Structure 1
Amino acid sequence: MVLETNLYFALIIIGALLILYEAINPGFFAAVPGTTMIVLGIMFLMGIDVFNTVWGVILGVASALIAASLSVLLYRRLSPEQLPTTLSRDSLIGREGKVIREVGGEEVFGKVLIAGVEWSARSTGRVLSPGTPVRVVSSEGVHVIVEEVQL
């Protein structure tokens, strides 16, 4: 009985950890299984055995479906209605950012921050120091080519 009770608490704890992980990393879709595990753990602790009787199975499945449905509805309500943002080196052309590690014209050791993402970069000409505002003019391979933005 003690082992079973520990397993039921483990279900609840794992479910809570999944929900916590979802809160930290939205989009992982751990809230639904987390909520379901919590509900099933509570049902077990209440003495409802969802494995040994037909009514237990029906009640367990119904409770899990209700918990999952409520999780999805709550998640939709809390999450913003927006399309996911996808950035590729080609979609950066024309965007502005700033140099975060010195960018030269020949080497690709420089780094720029464009739309909150760090990219390897080289300049169209002269060396650009950190903090310099830049605009992406093209891309080659896995890096972008930038020019200084004149303020």
Structure 2
Amino acid sequence: MDSIFGWLMLIVGALLLVVEALTPGFFVAVPATILIVMGLLVVLAPGLLTFPWGLIIFALVTIVVSIATILFYRRLAPGHKPIVTGEDSLAGKTGEVIRDVVPGSIDGKVKVDEQIWSATSAEKIEAGQRVRVIRAEGVHIIVCRLTDVTEGGECKK
């Protein structure tokens, strides 16, 4: 009976690892690894579950395997720092208008460095045009056509 339970734990653990591989997110990697290790223990030492200290051994192994798995996956896939974009870092960058930019409105949209910003301008700029960011104000940017930028980085009047 222990052997069947051990094999069942191995199979479920392996299936969970397959799920983790298909939809990565680290949600089932730890339980999958624990099930595989516990399944191996039960298959290799069938009387372990009936042994008086069996539950304590299982608890200790679970803790050790959990910590080892978490450390392994942290090393395998280190975290990434979030992209931080401040007002100063946007000025002077170029982008592409993806929704018409209209004076007096921040409904226009401009893609700058893979990020989409609400934008306004002194004149209407159609979608598809290349623009230069003059400055950022809060959550939107002020832009002008790339062809209208002076040597000093300002828009031609």
TM-score where L is the length of structure 1? 0.62
Does the 8 Å CA contact 2:94/2:131 hold for their aligned counterparts?
yes
Q: 1:144 aligns with which of 140, 143, 147?
A: 140
CA distance in 2, matches of 1:13, 1:110: 48
Q: How many positions carry a matched residue from both structures?
A: 139
SS of the residue corresponding to residue 23 of structure 2 reads helix
**1:1-150 map, 5 Å:** 4=5, 7-8=8-9, 9-18=11-20, 20-22=22-24, 25=25, 28=26, 30-46=28-44, 48=46, 52-80=50-78, 84-87=81-84, 91-94=85-88, 95=90, 96-99=93-96, 100-119=98-117, 121-128=118-125, 129-135=127-133, 136-139=135-138, 143-148=139-144, 150=149
TM-score norm. by structure 2 comes to: 0.60
Give the conservation status (yes or no) of the 8 Å contact 1:12–1:38. Answer: yes
Measure, in 1, the Cα distance between the counterparts of 2:49 and 2:129.
63
1:39-67 per-position Cα deviation (integer Å, ceiling 9, x unaligned): 23444454647755433323322332332
Whether the 8 Å CA contact 1:102–1:127 is kept in 2: the answer is yes
Tell me, yes or no, if the aligned pair for 1:17 and 1:34 is still in contact at 8 Å. no
Q: Distance in 2 between matches of 1:48 and 1:19?
A: 30
Unaligned runs of 5+ in 2: none
Amino acid at match of 2:121: T
Amino acid at match of 1:132: R
C-alpha distance in 1, partners of 2:52/2:22? 33
Tell me the C-alpha RMSD between the 2 structures.
Answer: 3.6
**Against the structure 1 CA distance between its residues 81 and 4, is the aligned structure 2 distance closer, same or farther, given a 3 Å change threshold?**
closer
| Consecutive unaligned residues in structure 1, runs of 5 or more | none
